[in-house]
Structure 1
Amino acid sequence: MRTQRPLIRSTWAAAGLAVLLTLSACGGSGEDAKKPQKLSETEHNKADVAFASDMIQHHAQALSMVDLTMDRSLDPEVQELADSIRAAQSPEIETMSGWLLQWGEDVPATMRDHVNGGHEGHGDDGDSSMSDSMAGMDADMPGMMSGEDMDALEKASDAEFQDMWLEMMVEHHEGAVEMSETEQGEGRFKPAVDLAGTIIESQSTEIETMEKLLG
Structure 2
Amino acid sequence: MKSTRTLIRRTVAITTAGAAAFVLAACGSEDTAGHGGGHTSKSPSATASQGERQQNAADVAFAQGMIPHHRQAVEMAELAPERAESAELKQLAEQIKKAQDPEIKTLSGWLASWGEDVPAEGEMGGHGGHDGGGMMTEAEMAGLEKASGKAFDTAFMELMIKHHEGAVAMAKTEQAEGAYAPAKEMAGAIITSQSDEIERMNEMLGKS
Instruction: State the match for 2:56 in structure 1.
Output: 45
Q: Deviations over 1:48-79 (max 9, x none)?
A: 00000100000000001011113124312111
Higher helix share: 2
Please identify the structure whose Cα radius of gyration is greater: 2
Alignment of 1:1-215 (within 5 A): 40-111=51-122, 137-138=124-125, 140-215=131-206
Task: Quote the sequence identity (%).
Answer: 52
Q: Distance in 2 between matches of 1:193 and 1:91?
A: 16
Q: Contact between 1:56 and 1:110, CA under 8 Å: does it hold in 2?
A: no
Q: Deviations over 1:88-114 (max 9, x none)?
A: 000000000000000001110133xxx
Shift of 1:42: 0.4
- Give TM-score scaled by structure 1 length: 0.68
Range moving further from structure 2, 62-71 or 41-50: 62-71
Shift of 1:159: 3.5
Shift of 1:158: 2.6
Q: Contact between 1:59 and 1:89, CA under 8 Å: does it hold in 2?
A: yes
Q: Report the AA paired with residue 137 of structure 1.
A: M
Q: Contact between 2:135 and 2:166, CA under 8 Å: does it hold in 1?
A: yes
- Give TM-score scaled by structure 2 length: 0.70
What 5-or-longer segments of structure 1 have no aligned partner?
1-39, 112-135
What 5-or-longer segments of structure 2 have no aligned partner?
1-50
Q: Contact between 1:48 and 1:183, CA under 8 Å: does it hold in 2?
A: yes
Q: Distance in 1 between matches of 2:57 and 2:64?
A: 10
Q: Distance in 2 between matches of 1:158 and 1:211?
A: 18
Q: Distance in 2 between matches of 1:64 and 1:73?
A: 14
Partner secondary structure for residue 108 of structure 2: helix
Q: Deviations over 1:169-189 (max 9, x none)?
A: 000000000000010110000
Q: Report the AA paired with residue 75 of structure 2.
A: S
Q: Number of matched residues?
A: 153
Shift of 1:208: 0.4
